[in-house]
Structure 1
């Protein structure tokens, strides 16, 4: 049997994780409120208020020891293990998973950098489970996912570039405060790094620019909002329904760890 392990930025609910047979290991965040672990979607309380009330909030990658415990438990049960993590260019979590696999020293453990996060990582986990149910092994599934991750799978936007700039994850993207000109940057993840695609004027223009990146045949989409669901998420949902009226769209809270780096009011759109 194939055991799947991923991190909490994948955005699964507790029930979804149980149905998919996925171990979701928590990332952490630290502020004046102390240390907290990111839970399943819907189980993080009013994290927006916590983050807003703390002057300095940092996030923590999953520790290698946490991955190692999960790997050893599945190996003891006779399972192969496939671990999918948030992009290594966004977090040290992939490196932790690699260290854990090295410590275990068992060829039945495969660790893959998804180059993704949020809904796009969830869709990758779902594909892995579907392939496993068809009888494919970890190595074969990992090869399929390596090809998949090279395609555009997610777009996102932030109302203010300040949080992303402070996070140090912008790379070569020039710092700008989008809302000063009522313009929202539209970005994607390419080989795990943030790439700017363009701009949208106002929340509606941003939504239309995001949805324009979705392939015509996409039938499953996931809209993630970071912090309370606001006008940005509403406009993206309306734009999806206008352009892809037959697509199934789920809406989820993106969780505190990604919210810390993207900023409140940010949105992402992923597709299968």
Structure 2
């Protein structure tokens, strides 16, 4: 019987190329061959097959997609189709859920996992948004999709809201999603989970004068040890979403004196070489757990 064979699409920047080399080596030791760098943008589907450079991807034992920065709608469309016939990491259903901030928050709250208070309303219901503003005093507009803090807008008064609404209407949005602004110390916990197991945690802090902790928004990372409450909250959130691999962003609400889940990310980055020098040393453990997960999912 031949080796198992999987497809992989893993980001290459920020040390991703070295991560891929290590992961492929570990998989080889488990008799799993890897076809790397499969960008579904260059695939086509016809007559019951999804083809990439002559390879029938639907005949693979698994497809591992791990590239947030180069996603397109076409890739996601084929991702969904491929998930109907072979195992995926993450599954399309779990990935799609956590790509949407409202659906994620909705499901977490239904399962008694604390998040920021939120509202979703139709774009024509601006009166409701104005009433929310009176109640909350400060809130954050969030695109329901997207990552890295792109599009996040803090609304601190009625004037800001009145300026934002016409701009959002021009984007032809059908609904608005807003969250109550949380009183926190401008730092968060990013907790990495693989296959239901805690991997590591690090902290992120906003740059001076900002409130966004995302690295792409100017935030920076630092070594941070989580307590059991933070780890258990992250594990519960990941279990609810169904992700095989996840990064959970958690902050401490100083007013309510409790930890809350801010986001659940289906493609949490590995530590970059620069971050490893700061003391973030979880990459090898994460690679091994992912290799074990792929091994488990591809066994007949």
Same fold (TM over 0.5): no
**Which one has a bigger Cα radius of gyration?**
2
User: TM-score, normalized by length of structure 1?
Assistant: 0.32
- TM-score normalised by structure 2 residue count: 0.30
